[in-house]
Amino acid sequence: MEIIRHLSNEELADLIIQSDQQALQQTLERLPGWAQAVAERDDEFWHKQRIATWSRIASAEDRPERRLRILAWALAVATIAVSGWLLERNFVLPSPEVRVDPDHELLIEVERVVQIDGPAALEPAALLAEEMVQDLAVRDSSIRKKEPSHEN
């Protein structure tokens, strides 16, 4: 019985290459010579090429240094900007809290109640309360006027 062995892809490629090499023998043999002839340049060309390569190497090596310098400057500017902003934020004075005087509030409340539906008998008391409110207001304003002088 005849055994037919199948060629592997690699073996098949080998056969094709061998056969093509035989058919193209002349061309393939001349190829190295042709390539050398066509890529032949004078010494000046090679010298110029080396100089150009060195100049490209020099500029490529300089690039990371320049990048670092730019990065350092950018960081410095960013730090100054952020610290300036933070300082500005801290200097803004908080709005003074309104101090509430419970006595004063009580008097106002009493006056309001008296004025709304207070009986006639309480009219003197209402007048008294009004006077007290005015008095307090006057005293309060005089205290406020004095306060800046204390600060000074």
Partner 1 sequence: MDTILTTALSSPATENAKEILAERFEEIMRQHQQRVYRVIFLLVRDEDTADTLTQECFLRAYLKRASFRGECQIETWLLRIAVNLVRDHSKNRRTSFWRKLVGLDEGESAGAKPRQFPAPEPSAERTLLVREELDAVWNALSSLSPQQRAIFFLRYEEEMSLAQIAALLELKIGSVKSQLARATGKLREMKEKQWK
- From candidates 39, 87, 93, 120, binder to partner 1 by CB under 8 A: 39
Residue 35 near partner 1 by CB under 8 A: yes
What are the distances in angstroms from CA 7 to CA 15, 19, 21?
Answer: 10, 16, 20
Please identify, using beta-carbon distances, which residue of 67 and 139 lies nearer to partner 1.
Answer: 67
Q: Which tokens hold the place of 127?
A: 């007048």
Q: Give the DSSP H or E segment for 140.
A: helix 123-151
Residue 68 near partner 1 by CB under 8 A: no
Longest dimension (CA), the chain: 141
Question: CB 56 → partner 1: shortest distance, Å?
Answer: 5
Question: CB 43 → partner 1: shortest distance, Å?
Answer: 11
Residues lying near partner 1 in the complex (CB under 8 A) are found at: 9-10, 12-14, 16-17, 20-21, 23-24, 27-28, 30-42, 46, 49-50, 52-53, 56-57, 60
